[in-house]
Structure 1
Amino acid sequence: MSPRSDTLPRAAGAVLAAVAAAGLAAQHRRHRRVLRGHGDEAVWETGAGNLLAHRFTEAAGAAPRPGAPEPPVLVFEPGMVSTAAHWSWLRRALGEEYAVLSYDRAGYGRSSRRDTRDFTLDSAVEDLTDLVRGVCGARRVVLVGHSLGGYLALRALEPLAGQVTAVVLLDPSHPEELRRSAAQARGAALLQDQLAMLPLSTRLGLGWMLPTPSWLSRLPEDERPVAGDQYRDRKMWAAAVREWRATYREFRGGAVLPPPTVPVALVAAGATHRRDPAHAGLHAEIVAAAPEGELLLIDGVEHDELLLSESACAQTAQFVRRFVTRCRRSAEGSEDRAETSGEAAVTAQ
């Protein structure tokens, strides 16, 4: 019988240790790049102590005519497992005419969560409200939300009452989707399985093993390095799990749709609507519940492609311009009628 040799196990262990060390070193370098971001973000501290990295840009085009009402600020609210980078195409398409505010929710990208309370969706709404008030001041805003961000935008209407003039929703989440859509329930189960190991794996330095997501190549080239680092960063997946648990708990717990109190424009992915009539019905309910609502169906695109397809964003931008312009004219007409009524009342006295 040959004597047992430990050479191979020791060699294999050394290789694994070296791989693990290299992974952790790469993770550290990647995390530092994530915290640097693009380098042009500002940081706002919310009432809960969270630090939100954001970009605020004024309209790049011609200034409004003297005496003309100032266009509203477009505030982009991302979906789950999503950052400000995902809004790049739409931001470029609308940034000529409108001031734009985009940001990463607490825990994503450069943004940090320092709130010690248990996370709830109310926490995210509070942060959004604080950011809008702190960065936009008293300026009118239009909230633009994708997926879970659409639901959060609807939730923010009450605390931002009087400042939000309209809402634009891109394939928004609905609080009854897990109960009324079998496809959404199956997707939720799949997401839960996918999220189960990712926070631990990325914390152990295995983020480099994640396959390059197909959506990364759809972003503008200058956004890809930062977005790719964020995707493999442990912070993103910890934040995603935290948000998913809060969303699942709330949606399963009987949450109801916040009543839209302002005009709503809903942009839906045609592929999603064709596959899932129940989901299409939920979107129709959101539009019908608004004081004024309009739906745009973009054929041939999936849920995430609403933001990642340059052509889909061009269609959405055109729709948003018309919608916001119509809302502004309607509001100006209401103000003029109110002033006329007031003057008539004074004259009558």
Structure 2
Amino acid sequence: MEEGFDAVAFTLPASIPEFPARLRSFLDQGRHGDMGWLAEKADRRGDPRTLWPEVRSIIVTAINYGPQDDPMARLAHTDRGVISVYARNRDYHDVIKKRLKRVGRWLHQSHGAAIKVFVDTAPVPEKPLAQAAGLGWQGKHTNLVSRGFGSWLFLGAIYTDADLPADAPETDHCGQCRNCLDACPTQAFPAPYQLDARRCLSYLTIEFGGHIPLEFRAPMANRIYGCDDCLAVCPWNKFARDAAETAFHPRAELTSPRLTDLAALDDAGFRAFFSGSPIKRIGRDRFVRNVLIALGNSRDGKAVGIVESLLDDTSPLVRAMAAWALRELAPARFSAARTGRLALETDPAVQAEWSPSPRPAAAPAPR
């Protein structure tokens, strides 16, 4: 297609009548965690017509970002960080929105239609709409699965007041398979087609701004931004293909970065290294928090020096995980430093990480 979309389909704003109730159940159970923006705009997210009453048709677009390798293979390299496939190059929001605007401008100029374009940053239910438009179906991991592209699609939407013919919806083709559910390292799926974000490593490493609960640190392994496990094991990926869009080809320095190099980034270095990347949005402190957990899981004695250098970081998020990582990597050095550190530390969460054995038990996320 001229704008580089791999698939385009059409649906109607009334095509997802069951979605508002599903969303309300998700929110009522608190499974959105601290993503308050989901609850604040639940009414507009549940029905496209509440977001824009004039909408008559919805154009749903998809771009393939299929990886060139097996994302799971990098988990074996414990001294390296594993970054979710979607975040290894350009921010997809920027790439896709520009293309949607060009398509929308053509639609307006050639047919006089009013339009609004969305890419994951407005209260738009892209995945249910994509299923209603026939681009795929929401699998048991709640992500979109396509018979042509597996689990690797970026979605966008154009709302318009033009009357366009709707495509037939896609049906569910998961069958008895539960690969995605069994692959989750934190058991974030209470049941098929249900996600508890509070237990999801993508949520914890990206959206969650607090101290990651103790029970999830070991399962993180060396995942420092997102988690692709449930996507990567989907059998429908046998039909997936490498991304054609060069903006989504992995940057070499983000494919298998050394954890010690990432831990050493200050704020300016972080912003420069991740310029143009979606990772930049979470900020240096949250990112280094994730890296320190990966270092603690690495059992790499060579990382003790960089971990100790972060014990005095200005961010409590970083200091807390530096203490935890030091305990994991060098218990004797942790014990030797504990009394002095506790006497100087003023942040309660960091103090808890310095407490003697047994280690502090962070409250688990409800299941």
Q: TM-score range by the shorter chain?
A: under 0.3
**What TM-score comes out, normalization by structure 1 length?**
0.25
Decide which structure has greater helix share: 1
**What TM-score comes out, normalization by structure 2 length?**
0.25
> Is the radius of gyration larger for structure 1 or structure 2?
1
